[in-house]
């Protein structure tokens, strides 16, 4: 498929369906998570080919700690191996890897490898891949409010200057554009506390495809759906067309 010139600059993905993918095959849930990692690798590579500048994926929510202890432990093992095996290749492909969320909840060895991955890839510009771990949208907004309040209290910011753009500077993705396209796999039609602030005008795309089966063609279908929509941002359709023709 040849995509039109206009592609979303920032794609956010809730990667859902690993467990169900494994269950359908009578395999352990960990097998689904491993397959999901392979799918993520494919999607990152295809985002680079499509010249998409930012990809933000929901890898592990703050609520995922409530899953069975054995599954969480296995997820951490898979995550650790991915940090060992995949980061060098991502670096060679020009991908900047960043982690958003409260990483202090992870074991020190995982924190160290996450920070090392960020440092190694920090100068890359082909694609920024934000990986949300131990993340929740409400948590992010609360943390931003705390940091903003501290800045006001310490005199670094005037309360009179607080507005939406100023508040956004305290968010985890302060230096990124808001997502243009939000994809959720697995058939569920909710955003599950992901990028609540940033998704105010994002286009949503829900697909029944389970995450391990989400491939390059699936990504192109989501992008094509995005390209078929008219983004008005509160304006009328006539206003949008007028600005394009101007």
- Is 16 a residue of the active site? yes
Residue from 18, 64, 161, 180 carrying the catalytic annotation: 64
157 is a domain residue: no
Helix segments in the chain, DSSP class H: 18-24, 29-49, 69-85, 87-92, 108-121, 137-153, 164-168, 216-227, 237-245
pLDDT value of residue 240: 56
166 is a domain residue: no
Flag whether pLDDT at 3 surpasses 50: no
Residue 54 is part of which domain span?
10-135+178-245
pLDDT band of residue 246 (cuts 50, 70, 90) is low
Q: Tell me the average pLDDT across 132-137.
A: 94
Token couple for 83: 């940090």
Residue from 16, 18, 130, 134 carrying the catalytic annotation: 16
Mean pLDDT of the residues in the chain: 91
- Is 18 a residue of the active site? no
pLDDT value of residue 168: 97
CATH of the domain at 193: 3.40.1180.10
- Count: domains in the chain: 1
186 is a domain residue: yes
93 is a domain residue: yes
Flag whether pLDDT at 239 surpasses 60: no
Q: Tell me the average pLDDT across 205-222.
A: 98
111 is a domain residue: yes
DSSP single-letter state for residue 211: G
Find the helix packing angle between 29-49 and 69-85, rounded to 10°. 40
Q: What percent of the chain has pLDDT over 90?
A: 78
80 is a domain residue: yes
Flag whether pLDDT at 232 surpasses 80: no
Flag whether pLDDT at 189 surpasses 60: yes
At 98-130, the pLDDT tens digits run 999 999 988 999 999 999 999 999 999 999 999
Q: Which is more confidently placed, 81 or 93?
A: 93
145 is a domain residue: no
202 is a domain residue: yes
């Amino acid at each position: 498929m040849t995509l039109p010139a206009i592609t979303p600059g920032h794609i956010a993905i809730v990667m859902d369906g690993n467990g169900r993918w494994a269950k359908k095959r009578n395999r352990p849930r960990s097998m689904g998570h491993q397959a999901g990692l392979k799918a993520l690798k494919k999607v990152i590579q295809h985002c680079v080919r499509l010249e998409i500048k930012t990809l933000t994926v929901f890898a592990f929510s703050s609520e995922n700690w409530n899953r069975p202890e054995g599954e969480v432990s296995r997820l951490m093992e898979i995550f650790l191996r991915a940090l060992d095996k995949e980061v060098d290749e991502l670096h060679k492909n020009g991908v900047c890897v960043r982690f958003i969320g409260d990483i202090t909840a992870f074991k020190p060895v995982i924190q160290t490898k996450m920070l090392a991955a960020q440092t190694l890839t920090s100068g890359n510009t082909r694609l920024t891949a934000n990986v949300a771990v131990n993340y929740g949208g409400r948590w992010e907004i609360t943390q931003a409010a705390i940091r903003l309040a501290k800045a006001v209290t310490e005199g670094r910011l005037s309360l009179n200057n607080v507005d939406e753009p100023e508040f956004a500077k305290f968010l985890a993705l302060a230096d990124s554009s808001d997502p243009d396209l939000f994809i959720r796999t697995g058939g569920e039609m909710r955003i599950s506390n992901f990028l609540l602030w940033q998704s105010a005008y994002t286009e949503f795309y829900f697909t029944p495809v389970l995450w391990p089966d989400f491939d390059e063609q699936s990504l192109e279908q989501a992008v094509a759906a995005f390209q078929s929509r008219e983004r008005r941002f509160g304006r009328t359709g006539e206003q949008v067309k007028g600005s394009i023709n101007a």
